[in-house]
Amino acid sequence: MVMGSTFTRHREIAWRGGRTRSTSRLIAEETAIALTYNGSTHAVMMGTPGDLEDFGIGFSLTEAIIERENEIRSIELIPNDLGVEVRMWLDGDRAASLAARRRAISGPVGCGLCGIESLEQARRAPSRVTGGGIAFHARDLLSAMQALSPLQILNQQTRSVHAAAFWHPRTGFGPVREDVGRHNALDKLAGAIVREGRSARDGAVLLTSRVSVEMVQKAAMIGAPVIVAVSAPTALAIQTAEEAGITLLAIARDDGYGVFTHSRRVLLPEEAASRAGC
């Protein structure tokens, strides 16, 4: 569901090719999004005001506030002059668990460590993923990354948002979600996967951003065995992917990519030919 427009048109004076002209441009909207549980604010994020039910559910899953979607009894979007409140009510056990760690915080775009109070929480051990027997052809993963761009509808209009997508080797693309914040885009994807009744355990998460530790932690929470990203990872992201059992591919461009962890899931062209007896 979209709360208002995700973009608006603004006038600009453009200087291109040594010439100046008056024109206009579509600009991505950015608004405050308050995530509240049982009447109390847990986090305020700056993000794109679209797919906010997905965002609320996905954030709740990837931040370990819930384990299953049905632990959220209800979810409601409350717009106001300052932003949008994603109002969620948890069942009794989850509400009691959250009460012990609840506090209100405010995070800018790109904030991914929300509602934590210690260094131990920031470096929490990632969830271990399954899917040890799954293998992906290298060319298929690269082709999927190349096919993602036309599916980034908001970015085609504004050139200023990130995308997170789910891809399956047999069925192709599942949900694609966009946001001005890369963490928000991944949270929205996580929520969409759950709401569509899918499993992330036999596919790949595709990212149009760099890979930091919290992106790996969030992917691990939904059980994704493979991450493919257009930009480079951080050292801690590589370490966390190794610990989580996630295959991490990054710097995925037209000419290829780098495999940084658990390469057994990636069939490079010569390996595929060898296994086929060629």
Residues annotated as part of the active site: 111
Cα 138–Cα 189–Cα 229 angle in degrees, nearest 5: 35
The pair phi, psi for residue 150, each rounded to 5°, is -65, -20
- Joined tokens for residue 243: 């610990």
Distance in angstroms (rounded) separating the CA atoms of residues 87 and 44: 12
**Considering only CA atoms, which of 78, 29, 68, 66 is closest in space to residue 184?**
29
The pair phi, psi for residue 75, each rounded to 5°, is -140, 135
| Cα atoms in the 13 Å half-sphere on the side-chain side of 59 | 30
The pair phi, psi for residue 83, each rounded to 5°, is 160, -145
Q: How many residues does the chain have?
A: 278
CA torsion sign, 193 to 165 to 233 to 32? negative
Burial (0-12, 13-18, 19+ Cβ within 10 Å), 15: exposed
**Considering only CA atoms, which of 189, 241, 188, 179 is closest in space to residue 216?**
241
Which residue bears the tokens 């192709």?
172
